[in-house]
Amino acid sequence: MVTNETAGRHVAGGPRITRRRLLAYAAATPTLSVVVKLADAVVGPGGAPPAGAQVAGIVDFTDALTLAAAPTQHLLVVEVTAENRVVARLPRAEVGQGITTAVAQIVADEIGARLEDTDVVLEDARPELLWNQLTGGSNTVHALYTPLRVAAAGARARLITAAARRWGVSASGLVTADTTVTGPGGRSATFGELSAAAASVTVPAVPAVPKDPSQHTLIGQPTTRIDARDIVTGKARYTQDLPIPDALTCVVARPPTLGGTVRSVDDRAARAVPGVVDVVRIPTGVAVVAETFDQALAGRDALVVDWNPGPAAHLSDADVRSRLRGAVLPYLPAPGMRVVEHAFDFAFVPHAPMEVLNCVADVRSDRAELWLSAKSPIVTAQTVALTVGLPVDRVTVHVVRGGGSFGRRLFFDPAPEAALVSKAVGRPVRLLWTRNDDMRHGRLRPASHHRARATLLLGNPIGYEHRMASVTLDGSHGLGELLSAVGLEALGVVGQAMFHLTQHDLYRLGIQTRSLREVDLPFPTGSWRSVFSGQVRTVDEVMVDQIARSMGQDPVAFRRAKLRSARLRAVLDKVATEGQWGRPMEPGTAQGVGLHEEYKSVVAYLVELDARDPSRPRVTGAVAAVDVGRAINPRGLEAQLQGALVDALSVILQAGVHIDGGAIREGSYADFRYARMRDTPPQVEVHVMPPTGEPGGAGELGVPAASAAVANAWARATGTVPTSFPIVDVAP
Amino acid sequence: MPRHTFELNGETVTVDAPDDANLLWVLRDVLGVTGPKYGCGVGVCKACTSHLDGAAFQPCTMTVAECAGRSVTTIEGLADGDRLHPVQQAWIDEDVAQCGYCQPGQIMAAVALLAENPSPTDDDIDQIDNVCRCGTYVRIRKAIHRAAAAM
């Protein structure tokens, strides 16, 4: 316990940003800067934004997201300040996937700035952006690559025009580089010196057209994160690190079962804990507000709460599994055919980002201001507005860098909680979910059951069917509305739409069908890095190995013969060569491969697994090859594929959660067995294929293929087809 | 109210707090030192890893009274002014971080390991138990080897 007395010397942890400075920065006035809008850059001021693709052009989920973002791309802003900073205002969330670095590279390259003179600021919620402020589907770079370059090219053209006028020379001879415009006779001026004049240029004297890729100097270069130094010095600020004056701390007593409710509370002892300021009933539990988190936690411990059971209290793992299995119809016999058939179960998996869910809220009678890592900040603002009874234009949501997400921060559960508590106590509130809260109150990758069957005639596959049953995926963070906005409501609920837009045939296996049956069970679910693909591709790729095996063929040779696309064949060949596919290995150890195509990108993994002690399998090496069309930052791309492998080996081999009577058993990383250093390979090679076109997505791309490769390596090392994931199911 | 004096990042600090005040919250809420991150509060995730008299420890499992008269170093106290510690530099050179949230703790764990064992093997590095949910382990490992070589 601790009190609010703070005698003793204050030790500053880096520069203390006051709230006023934060706000001033977020609302930096652009009077001396160039603000280029996409519409201006393309068709001149007042023109219409470029027409987006047609609904009929949607072939996958990436197209749906990109099309939904298209109508508001002209609202993107690239600024050049008098202080010689190039500032891109990014309506997305940075949660470790590296988009701020990629965006800085794109903008700096196009405008001709040094990377270190370029800032990427996460935009506050801007409701006018509609569907263009949702961070998901690994879509950021794919959707923003062209709009950002067009905006930056417009800024460059205006800077050049301003310099030409100042020097009285032809604009066509001027160039930008190193945040400077240079011209004949050694003339030069920094962007900062030109920004005011450039702001008044309405029609540039040179074309505002993005560079040809052959002229790129930053795009495509392996680049270290722009915030690397801030991170390693502890200066990088996450939501709870922001100094918000007068803020109280808050934790919430939550029910023992998912979705349980308060029957009665005795808060007398809690209120008597030194430092506790208030106890507030909210829909999700009982909030304890105190001067410090130490006191809030002690106050929470002192609460006596009687809880009503939640809606899943009658359900445990066996019930969930049996409901899912019951939702998948068995296959009819196929007389005269040979079949390869397997059934698979996947456990629930929590997102468990390192930074637990949390939010800072300051709600007053006429306005609300929130700080959190939000991947759908517009819906967050709308929800908070409804929750506290304010018009949405009185709610400000600041998007703060996030400590991981993996899909979790599409939902913003702590925001309405913090808003309600702040409204009740009349002061800013820093609300924190403890690790146990975060682990035990969802959300979860839905548990699923799969039954897959290949039918072979005369030794050749003539059909492949994959039936999946999943606990219903919750997409109520705006995804359903987004899909409706692009004309896809016909696909029904979010899960069905996601499933059919993301799952495609990679191989020629005859007539193929994939179906999803969603089972409505009252568990809090959410998209988990790669959504359905993590399970679907694992099943499909395990099946491909087993089909090949039944035909007496090598898994890689069989894939080469059956793959539909040359891009996929190229990445498979790359990992087979670099990973020395087929090299002799010890009994109990083996290689495995897996492929995936999504987000306009393709990837292959080859992993080596040591399962000599089947209770402690370890991936001992991995090689990946990736073709994302055009890698903006190969170094960041490599990082995403390395991390995706760790996700994959965790959820395939050892990490999931158990359900006991509507409650999640695991409470921290002690029993949710996400991989540690000792579980991971010392070497992970990533080969980035040469550029072939426009950039696709990468953040989620690796998980399905790596999961499949690990599962296949297990099957080959142990001679047993894995049918339940995680394979090593340790009951804590 | 008991008064506790200890050394924090090279400076002597005094806080008035109950003996059982949790050091992580004293650092973060009272002293404004936010480099050590909350990740679990029970010493498992190790995101708050710092040094107590030069050895790695988790402030979330320590009371302020236990630190009296001792020396606490957080990530903020690792660099020498603008000159980064070789481990911090190795972290940048290997571009280790993704979300970055666990990295102050990872770096402090690596510094403590290298202090005890200047040229750790892969097996030695495997003993680091800090969670990285982004899965940056392969780069952490390379950065530790790089720092070991540089030191």
If asked whether residues A667 and A620 sit together in one domain, one would say yes
A301-322: average pLDDT:
98
What are the chain A neighbours of B28 within 8 Å (beta carbons)? Answer: 240-241, 293
Identical fold for domains B3-77 and B86-150, yes or no, is no
Who among A231, A291, A668 is closest to B44 (CB)? A668
The verdict on residue A326 lying in a domain is no
The verdict on residue A10 lying in a domain is no
Q: End of a domain among A232, A249, A265? A: A232
Looking at the structure of chain A, the number of domains it has is 3
If asked whether residues A262 and A221 sit together in one domain, one would say no
Question: In this complex, is the C-beta atom of B139 within 8 Å of any C-beta atom belonging to chain A?
Answer: yes
CATH number of B3-77, picked from 1.10.10.10, 3.50.50.100, 3.10.20.30, 3.20.20.70: 3.10.20.30
Who among A14, A353, A642 is closest to B133 (CB)? A353
Residue of B nearest to A432 (CA): B38
Residue A131's pLDDT is what? 85
**Two tokens at A530?**
């790669």
A396-406: average pLDDT:
98
Strand partners, A664: A659
Task: Answer yes or no: is pLDDT of A62 > 90.
Answer: no
For chains A and B, what is the number of CB pairs under 8 angstroms?
243
Q: What is the pLDDT of residues A522-546, one digit of tens each?
A: 999 999 999 999 999 999 999 999 9
If asked whether residues A405 and A452 sit together in one domain, one would say no
Class of domain B86-150: mainly alpha
Question: In this complex, is the C-beta atom of B61 within 8 Å of any C-beta atom belonging to chain A?
Answer: no
Task: Answer yes or no: is pLDDT of A550 > 70.
Answer: yes
B52: closest CA of chain A, how far (Å): 17
Residue A18's pLDDT is what? 33
Domain boundary assignment for chain B: 3-77, 86-150
**Two tokens at A501?**
């837009």
Q: What is the pLDDT of residues B52-92, one digit of tens each?
A: 999 999 999 999 999 999 999 999 999 999 999 999 999 99
Question: In this complex, is the C-beta atom of B43 within 8 Å of any C-beta atom belonging to chain A?
Answer: no
If asked whether residues A161 and A252 sit together in one domain, one would say no
Residue A19's pLDDT is what? 31
pLDDT confidence tier of residue A465, bands split at 50, 70 and 90: very high
A85: closest CA of chain B, how far (Å): 22
**Residues A675, B135: C-beta atoms closer than 8 Å:** yes
If asked whether residues A694 and A718 sit together in one domain, one would say yes
Residue A492's pLDDT is what? 58
Residue A47's pLDDT is what? 33
If asked whether residues A564 and A424 sit together in one domain, one would say no
Mean pLDDT, chain A, whole residue set? 90
Residue B61's identity, in one-letter code, is T
If asked whether residues A683 and A547 sit together in one domain, one would say yes
Least confident of A20-34, A94-108, A219-233, A553-567: A20-34
A122: domain CATH number is: 3.30.365.10
User: What whole-number distance in Å separates Cα of residue A484 and Cα of residue A473?
Assistant: 17
pTM above 0.90, yes or no: yes
Q: End of a domain among A232, A260, A284? A: A232
If asked whether residues A38 and A158 sit together in one domain, one would say yes
Strand partners, A118: A86
Task: Answer yes or no: is pLDDT of A317 > 70.
Answer: yes
Residue B68's pLDDT is what? 95
Task: Answer yes or no: is pLDDT of A35 > 70.
Answer: no
Residue A58's pLDDT is what? 67
Q: DSSP string spanning A523-580?
A: --B---TTTTHHHHHHHHHHHHHHHHHHTT--HHHHHHHHBS-HHHHHHHHHHHHHTT
Residue span of the structural domain in which A184 resides: 19-232
Pick among B111, B133, B141 to test the A interface (most A CBs inside 10 A): B133
What are the chain B neighbours of A402 within 8 Å (beta carbons)? Answer: 99
What are the chain B neighbours of A12 within 8 Å (beta carbons)? Answer: 32
**Residues B37, A355: C-beta atoms closer than 8 Å:** yes
What are the chain B neighbours of A251 within 8 Å (beta carbons)? Answer: none
A104: closest CA of chain B, how far (Å): 16
If asked whether residues A61 and A193 sit together in one domain, one would say yes
Of A7 and B112, the one with more pLDDT: B112
pLDDT confidence tier of residue A497, bands split at 50, 70 and 90: confident
If asked whether residues A110 and A254 sit together in one domain, one would say no
If asked whether residues A428 and A452 sit together in one domain, one would say no
If asked whether residues A169 and A285 sit together in one domain, one would say no
User: What whole-number distance in Å separates Cα of residue A23 and Cα of residue A18?
Assistant: 9
* Surface-to-core class of residue A394, CB atoms within 10 Å of its CB (0-12 exposed, 13-18 middle, 19+ buried): middle
Task: Answer yes or no: is pLDDT of A11 > 50.
Answer: no
pLDDT confidence tier of residue A491, bands split at 50, 70 and 90: low
Residue A494's pLDDT is what? 77
The verdict on residue A453 lying in a domain is yes
Share of chain A above pLDDT 70, in %: 91
Q: What is the pLDDT of residues A138-158, one digit of tens each?
A: 999 999 999 999 889 989 999
Least confident of A197-206, A303-312, A347-356: A197-206
Task: Answer yes or no: is pLDDT of A41 > 70.
Answer: no
B16-34: average pLDDT:
96
Task: Answer yes or no: is pLDDT of A396 > 70.
Answer: yes
Residue A24's pLDDT is what? 28
Q: End of a domain among A179, A200, A232? A: A232
Q: DSSP string spanning A350-397?
A: E---SS-SEEEEEE-SS-EEEEE--SSHHHHHHHHHHHHT--GGGEEE
What are the chain B neighbours of A238 within 8 Å (beta carbons)? Answer: 37, 101
Pick among A248, A355, A605, A677 to test the B interface (most B CBs inside 10 A): A677
The verdict on residue A157 lying in a domain is yes
Task: Answer yes or no: is pLDDT of A52 > 50.
Answer: no
pLDDT confidence tier of residue A490, bands split at 50, 70 and 90: low
Least confident of A7-16, A440-449, A576-585, A659-668: A7-16
- Cβ neighbours for B18, distance < 8 A, ≥ 6 positions apart: A1, A2, A3, A274, B1, B2, B64
Task: Answer yes or no: is pLDDT of A1 > 90.
Answer: no
pLDDT confidence tier of residue A10, bands split at 50, 70 and 90: very low
Mean pLDDT, chain B, whole residue set? 97
